[in-house]
A = this chain, B = another copy of it.
Amino acid sequence: MSAIDTEFVDELASYAGLARRAAAAYLSGDLSPYLEVPATEYLDRGGKGLRPALCLATCSAFGGDVEKALPSAAAIELLHTAFLVHDDVEDDSDLRRGEPTLHRKYGPALAINAGDGLAVVALGALRDNERALGRRLAARVWSEFDFMARQTVDGQARELGWRRDGRTDLTPDDYLDLIMKKTCWYTTLLPLRVGALVGSRGALDLEPMLRFGFYLGAAFQIRDDVLNLTGSEAVYGKETLGDLREGKRTLMLIHLLAAASPSDRRQVVGYLALDPSQRSSEVAEHIMTLMDDHGSVAFADEFARGIARAAGVAFEEAFAAAPDSPARRFIRELVTYMVERDR
């Protein structure tokens, strides 16, 4: 992480800490330990807090008090955690943030319900916006969350469906369409749009946020997929090659299917036709070697850097109305962070 300066890391941790404390407060009180204990577990394990940090910093960059965006930032972190819990069950993953996934620890039933609980608590947090922002602006924020959630579950369905149907005919454009829905809305677009709404008290035109949010979220997701292949398990906190074991249609896999020789391609197609439980570590590592041989990882890495450069340009447009400030600089730095991070 040499390219990331420590001031940025401290600011990220500070924003994330604010949001995490607010999120934890919404989970405490009247809930049974059978819900509260599993629901707080991933939050207690930490996490980067990128999403709420982006929301709070955007609010600040457009002249708002971060306090005003705190219920929304807490809701973002809670909903993100809800998605992680359900994703881990859906993918049957082993590790999250360096420890066993929730369903491994508490069983699938309590884990699925904890994910539901996190989503419910997230939406409950948004009710505080009525007091903080007034009924009109609170309703606009709610409508942003509603739209985002619909995109996210729809994107998740597409990805799961591609795997279930054994799709091997996908293009990089299919992948970009998918992550716009599955990742960008909740990771970058919603935090940016809600932060800008709250910071400008509803005055800002949100249109230019679309382009910036898409580039930023795409850079994030592609880097995430690369880290899943090449990252250190201890730093990254998820099982290495997990995506490959799950047959996730990443940019690297799509590249490999297009670039491989007919015989290599047959091996990859055969691998993807297996039931996930039959995909051994040895075979997954062989597919990884094929990706290296065909430059699939380098392709994805360069793709992410290209998109990050485009995000840098789109940032200037989206934040044209925001004067120079620490928060604005933090968001500009985040563009670099997305493709340089190793966790």
A154 proximal to B (CB < 8 A): yes
A136 proximal to B (CB < 8 A): yes
A91 proximal to B (CB < 8 A): yes
Q: Once the chains are docked, how many angstroms separate the CA of A34 from the CA of B142?
A: 26
- Tell me if B116 and A153 are in contact (CB < 8 A): yes
Most chain B CB within 10 A, of A109, A110, A152, is at: A109
A323 proximal to B (CB < 8 A): no
Separation in Å of the A296 CB from the closest CB of chain B? Answer: 25
| Copies of this chain present | 2
A316 proximal to B (CB < 8 A): no
A143 proximal to B (CB < 8 A): yes
- Tell me if A153 and B120 are in contact (CB < 8 A): yes
- Tell me if B34 and A86 are in contact (CB < 8 A): no
Q: Once the chains are docked, how many angstroms separate the CA of A161 from the CA of B115?
A: 15
- Tell me if A112 and B86 are in contact (CB < 8 A): yes
A107 proximal to B (CB < 8 A): yes
Q: Once the chains are docked, how many angstroms separate the CA of A156 from the CA of B146?
A: 24
- Tell me if B127 and A109 are in contact (CB < 8 A): no
Contacts of A113 in B (CB 8 A): 86, 90, 153, 156-157, 160
Q: Tell me the residues in window 134-186 of chain A with beta carbons closer than 8 Å to chain B beta carbons.
A: 135-136, 139, 142-143, 146, 149-150, 152-154, 156-158, 160-161, 164
Residue in B31, B109, B153 whose CB lies within 8 Å of A35 = B153
User: Would you list the 8 A-B pairs with minimal beta carbon distance, nearest first?
Assistant: A34-B161, A35-B157, A90-B109, A34-B157, A117-B153, A120-B149, A32-B158, A124-B146
